[in-house]
Structures are given as C-alpha cells and as structure tokens.
Amino acid sequence: MSRYASTSLAEETSQPSSLQMEAKALLDNEWWISYTIDYLISWNKGLGLKLAVCIFVIQALISNIALTCKMGQFALYKFLLTIFLLFSISKSLPTGNERSTYIIHMDKSAMPAPFSTHHDWYTSTLSSLSSPDGISPVHLYSYKHVMDGFSAVLSQTHLNQLEKLPGHVSTFPESYGHLHTTHTPKFLGLNKHSGLWPEGKFGDDIIIGVLDTGIWPESESFNDRNMPPVPQRWQGMCETGTEFNTSHCNKKLIGARKFSQGMKQYRLNISNTNDYDSPRDFWGHGTHTSSTAAGSRVQNANYFGYAEGTATGMAPSARLAMYKVGFYSKDIRVIDAVATDVLAGMDQAIEDGVDIMSLSLGFKETPFFKNPIAIGAFAALKKGIFVTCSAGNSGPHGYTMLNGAPWLTTVGAGTVDRELGARVTLGDGDITVTGISMYPENLFISRIPLYFGHGNRRKELCDWNSLDSKDVAGKFVFCDYDNESSVFRSEDIYVNANDGDLIKTYILNTTNATVSVRFGITTLGTKPAPKVAYFSSRGPDRRSPWILKPDILAPGYLILAAWVPNRGFAPIRDHDYLLTDYALVSGTSMSCPHTAGVAALLKATHRDWSSAAIRSAMMTTADVTDNANGRIIDMTTAVAGTPLDFGAGHLNPNRAMDPGLVYDIEVEDYINYLCALNYTSQQIQIITGTSNFSCKYASLDLNYPSFIVILNKTNSTTSTFRRVLLNVADTASIYNAVVEAPPA
C-alpha cells in the first residue's frame, strides 16, 4: 500500500517564489553552480534545472523538477527522484571580532608533570586564558588518537595568548565540509555458496564504523536475527538522545553516538523539525550508506516496485557503529559536517575498536596537515583500521576529486547492469522505445495526446515560461535540447538522442500524435556495465598528483538501500510525497560503503592483512572491462575511460580474496612521502602524531599498486619506479609482468 505525506509548499502564483528568488541569487555564485546539487534542488515545485556542460541554469517546468546534462549522445537524467548525496565544497566560517572555533595541536611531550591526563592539561590551559570582555573559552573536544590536542571556541585575544604557551604546535580555524541494495551484490559476483561471502563468513564480527548523518535503527536492514553476541573487544556504546535510546541498539547496530558540539557553535538549530540531536537519522543518508555496507538480508525490498529483490549489505554479518557527524544547518539549508566533529567521531571510532571506517563526505582541497579526514585516517592507519572515502560528485572533469591522501582508499562511482524505466509506444504501436523513469507507480496510460512546440524554439526547449497551460494540459510534452538529447516531460521519462529523433519525426508527420506509457519496468543484465558515472569526480588529486586517484570504482548509481520512513521522498502530486522504507540514490556516497563492506569481508578472510594490503588486493584484481568485454566507458562521453576516471578498475570482490601479490606500505613509507611533499617537520607531526621521524629517505615513489607520470610536452622525460611485492598466495608462484602502454 502506498503511503504519502503532504508538504507545506505554497501555491504557485505569477510572482517568483522566495525559493525561486533564492535559487536565482545562488546562481550568481559559480562555486554553488558547479558543486552544490543538494536537497535545495529536490522536490521544489516550479523549479527546474538544465545542465549544460555540467553548469546549472534555472529553468521553469510545468510542475516539477528536472536536471539535464549536455552529454553528446548520452541520455538525459532527471534528478527528481535520484538524489546525489556527497557534497564536496567547503565554506569559511564567520570571522571578525566574534569568537571562532579552532583546532589546536599540542606537543604532548611538553605536558607538565602535575597533570595526570592530556585532557586535564588542555582544560587547564584554556582556563588560564583571559579576555577583556570576561568571556571564557569554550572547550569542545579533547582528542586522544587522531591528534594530540583539542578544539575550542576562542576570541582573538585567547588565541594570541594560547599560541605563546609552551606545548602549542599549531592552530587551524574550523573547516566546513559536506556529505558527498537488491542487485549490487550479484552484480559484483557475491554468492552465498562460494567465493568471498562464505570464505569471509559474510563479514562475521568485523566492525564497520560509519561517519554520517545517523541511522534509523528500526529499519529491517538492521535486524540482528541469528547474530552471535557482540564481540567482547568492542568498547563502544549507544548513547541516549532525541528519539534515541540504548534499546535501539542490538547485535547488528552495536554502537551509536553523535558529535554536534562543533556544529552547534555555527548556530545550528537542532530540533525535531530540522534534525535530531542524537544518533537518529533525519535525512536518510547515513541509513542508506550503513545498510549498503552491512545491512542484514531483507526480502522483497523495492522502491515502489522498481529494483525488487532481497536487499543485503556487502558484509551482511558485520556489525555497525554509527558516528553521527552530519547535521542539517538551518542557516545555509544543507547537511554539513565540521572538522571538530569529524575528528571527534574518528577519534571515538578508534577508541571503540572499529575495524573499518567509511566516510561518505569530504572537505575542500587543503594540504593534508589541514584536512581532518587525512589527519584522522592516519591515526586509524597506525591502529590497523582500513579507511575508505568517497571521491566526490564534481565530475566529469579532471582534478575534481577529494580525499586524495595515499593512506585513504578513494572510491569513484559506477553504474550497474540494471535500468529502471518506462516503455513508450507511439500511436498504434508501430514505434516503441524504452526511457529512463522512476515514476512511483506501476501504471499504464493509454493514448494520451503528445505535444511538441514545433516552430517556436523556446517551446521546443520547454524554456522558462514558454509553455501555455491551454496547450499542454492533459498531454505529454516532448522537449528537444539542441539535438543533444531528448526527453519526455510530465511523467518523468527520459530517452536517448536516437529514440528522441524517432519520436520527433513521428510527431512532425502525424496529425494527432498520441503516446501510451507503461511505468514500473526493471530490466536486469543491461550492457555495457559498469560505466563511470558522469558525476563521479576524476583524478588526479591536486595536492598529491603523484599518486593515481581515485583508487577504484564501485557501484554508486541508483543504489537501493534503507531509508528513513518518515520523510516524503517521491513526489506524486502538487503537494503529496510518497514515503518509502527503501530508496534509490546515486552518488559516490553510495560507492564508498560498497568498498567498506568488501574490505570487511577481506579483513575477515585475512586477519593479518594491513590496510594497504587490502587496498592493493582490491586494486590489482579490479576489472577494467565491462560485461560486454569492452573497456569500461565514461558515461559522459560514451568512449573508453581512463585510470583517472576509474582508478585501477571496477571492484571485483571474489578476485580480491586471492590477489597472489600485494603492494604493502608501512607507516614510515607514508612519512617519507610527506617529506617529499616539502612539508615542514611541524606539519608532518600534525598528520602523523609524532616528532620522532627522519626525512633522510624522502620519496614520492610510494609502494603503491599504480603508477602515474606527469609529462612535460616540451621535454622528454624518464621516470623510474620501484615496487616491492609480497606473495600472499598459499603456495610459491611465478608471475610474469604484462605492460600495456598508453596511447602515444
């Protein structure tokens, strides 16, 4: 039975709505145009988005929203029901005379003897600071693992005093980041009878820590039926908060905490209207990623009939711990995370004893010593914790990816061999094409008049305010975008350019053109797949171009996973939105937990493997060909992709179980790499947490399972790479190198 909720959007008038005016104002900011494709775009009546070379332009639609992209012969995709959920811009916090939040790195060796703990030292240091206005500093977090130091709210006077005290290393202002299945296990080759699933015991007793927007614990994806007791080594807990208590945890969801102190300093108004100040998920993102990584098996999961099947996470027997660091900010109307909270969440995850960390979020491009994820992940690395992050949704151009630190496993997004759509039949049935749609009803509509504004270019384009209701009422509307691609409007169907030409020809040669539509079609085994999703951010990393990134491609396009059931998701009428327990969502946020789940399976199979060995196994066994035996193509251009698009290739879990050889990397190797980046000793200490190192062997040539050369067009270049491989096979083997040279 369908469930639906009413929205509070105002009726349309002839005057632009406040949201339309806000969107128009935002278009003046290029950074927003290029990167923010968030909830502001979703569900708002009267707004449309046209994407030309991936730059957004507001465009009027009849009564709903569309997002289209200029991609040659590539089909258009509407963003009405498919939400991108990794956002990768960063924004400066308020500055001036008011107090600001800072992250303070301290030299723990300078702690005076009377203090028994570093926390006591930090709080005592803060209490010693004074200010003419009499306002005291506010302590937020003390960090134990991710760094030596703390975060606090300070005035400029406080900061000046603190920087002169013994033990102070450096101070950085708060930074601001954004949050970046039924079929994917089968698409990845996971089988309950053979391969990595049974060999890895489905991830049994591996603990995955997810840093995200929280979790909806009542979801069937988090049931703990037939699961053994919680591992005794687990040190975490479930905390009580708004709409959340300890009883919401079980043998599947074994830990849940929230970290909002930093965000609250940015005037976050946390309430039941906007978010929960607790581990409970309000927006769905964290629930979706958690169930993708380690959701329990759920039969008959579907999105209003689409993609129906048994939903399961990549590691269905693994345990989950949620560290909520993403909250909705009323001031800027997006879901955000701040560095102080993210560091606190990572610090707690290390303390609790997770084996895997999954972060579907990113901060702006900064040196590694200013990046909270890079800093926290290095501390996790030293504890043997595998950390994976999303690459970002700012593709398809190069140098757009985030999370490029070489000790992170950075994941791009690919498609799967499944299409969701509608069958379109013209007239008496002589022409039938299939379009892309997720209209949330299994519905057949017969012989509806078909409108095309031929002869008026603005009407052909369905341009802003170009269509008259008396012309289009009760009809399907066909829009033609400069022959780049063509699309049905009204009931959310998209067709490719060739089929669009067939439809246009039919309309122009038929007096009373009609169309019949069957919605609710799911097609499996489509080819070619995977493709590199057009939104997936590309490498290399601007701050570290000597490491080939992203590392790998994983499913991230129209992924079905658990959702929060109390928020309207799918619009069906002017003010009505269907509720759903499972949602189809796209983004590198979705590909990241796929990799986290597979890492859990590999960790369960090979307990002695390091994080670098797990990443190496994934990369060296990844697929560079699709299910049509061709090279993986770029969804944007429909031509073969490159390693800067898909890294080592598409994730192949079963092959990763037995890679033969692995490229392992020690902590000292990463330090040598940081030295070669010309970081100062202080900057390296911030990342590594130690001052006990030497830069004698500085080198950009890490023992990484990939190579990249930056060429100068005017000069010939010779580069030498050295690699050491470790045989992890059961027996001694002989390997032969096969080198495939890139095109000249």
* Range list of H helices, 621-698: 643-646, 653-656, 667-676, 681-688
Token pair for residue 392?
């970002």
pLDDT at 419: 87
Q: What is the CATH number of the domain that holds 145?
A: 3.30.70.80
Tokens of 442: 């299994």
**Cβ 291 vs Cβ 311: under 8 Å:** yes
Looking at the structure, tell me whether residues 242 and 311 fall in a common domain. Answer: yes
Judge whether 377 lies within some domain: yes
- The yes-or-no answer on residue 733 being catalytic is no
Both 197 and 169 in one domain: the answer is no
Q: Are residues 44 and 168 in the same domain?
A: no
First to last CA, the chain: 59
Q: Point out the catalytic residue in the list 148, 212, 277, 355.
A: 212
Same domain as 355, residue 430: no
| Same domain as 356, residue 466 | no
Count of other CB atoms within 10 angstroms of residue 204: 17
pTM: 0.82
Dist CA 126 CA 325 (whole Å): 25
Distance CA 643, CA 646 (A): 5
Query: What are the tokens at 347?
Result: 């610090």
Task: Kindly tell me the sign of the dihedral angle through the C-alpha atoms of 263, 266, 269, 274.
Answer: negative
Check whether residue 288 and residue 240 sit in a common domain.
Answer: yes
Q: Assess whether 232 and 381 both reside in one domain.
A: yes
Q: Which of 605, 639, 659 is the last residue before a domain boundary?
A: 659
Q: Which residue has the tokens 């001052």?
A: 691
CA-angle at 482, arms to 478 and 486, nearest 5° = 35
Answer yes or no: do 251 and 318 share one domain. Answer: yes
Residue where one domain finishes, among candidates 471, 498, 524: 524
736 found inside a domain: no
Query: Is residue 730 among the annotated active site residues?
Result: no
- Return the amino acid letter for 539: G
Residue position matching structure tokens 């993403």 = 326
For the domain that residue 477 is a member of, what is the CATH number?
A: 3.50.30.30
Confirm whether 493 is domain-assigned: yes
Residue with tokens 């890079």: 374
Q: How many CB atoms lie within 10 A of CB 321?
A: 29
Among 506, 524, 542, where does a domain finish?
A: 524
Q: Note whether residue 364 is domain-resident.
A: yes
pLDDT at 575: 58
- State how far the Cα of 41 lies from the Cα of 80, in Å rounded to an integer: 8
pLDDT at 16: 35
Provide the pLDDT for residue 271: 63
Q: How far is CA 31 from CA 28, 173, 334, 335, 449, in A?
A: 9, 21, 15, 17, 41
Our count of domains for the chain comes to: 3
Q: Give the pLDDT of residue 491.
A: 55
Of 495, 515, 448, which is closest to residue 475 (Cα–Cα)? Answer: 448
The answer to whether residue 564 sits within a structural domain is yes
Contact 303, 310 (CB under 8 A): no
Q: Are residues 14 and 147 in the same domain?
A: no
Domain that holds residue 143: 100-173
Same domain, residue pair 284 and 390: yes
Which among 88, 296, 589, 611 is annotated as catalytic? 589
Instruction: Point out the catalytic residue in the list 180, 285, 288, 594.
Output: 285
In a domain, 477, yes or no: yes
| Whether the Cβ atoms of residue 241 and residue 216 lie closer than 8 Å to each other | no
How far lies 509's CA from each of 485, 513, 516, 585, in Å?
20, 9, 18, 39
The tokens for 429 are 């049935």
Q: What distance in Å separates the CA atoms of residue 130 and residue 137, rounded to the nearest whole number? A: 8
CA distance 176 to 199: 41
Residues 484 and 546 in one domain: no
742 domain residue, yes or no? no
- Number of residues that this document lists for the chain: 744
> Which pLDDT score is estimated for 545?
94
> In the 3-class helix/strand/coil scheme, how is 454-465 assigned residue by residue?
CCCHHHHCCCCC
133 contact partners, CB below 8 Å, separation of at least 6: 155
| Residue 123 falls inside a structural domain | yes
Token pair 């600001």 is found at 100
Cα separation of 656 and 616, whole Å?
9
Annotated catalytic residue 285:
yes
Residue 27 carries which DSSP code?
Answer: T
Mean pLDDT per 10-residue run, the chain (744 residues)?
31 32 30 24 27 24 27 30 33 53 94 92 95 90 96 95 95 85 73 86 94 97 96 97 96 98 76 84 95 96 88 96 89 78 98 98 94 98 98 94 97 93 90 84 87 90 84 87 42 77 93 91 91 95 95 95 86 70 92 98 97 98 96 91 96 96 98 98 96 96 92 82 94 86 70
C-alpha–C-alpha distance, residues 562 and 570, integer Å? 15
**Does residue 249 share a domain with residue 109?**
no
Tokens linked to 413:
């997004």
Q: Is 21 exposed, middle or buried (0-12, 13-18, 19+ CB in 10 A)?
A: exposed
The CATH number covering residue 384 comes to 3.40.50.200
Other CB atoms within 10 A of residue 432 CB: 13
Give the integer Cα–Cα distance in Å for 669 and 698.
9
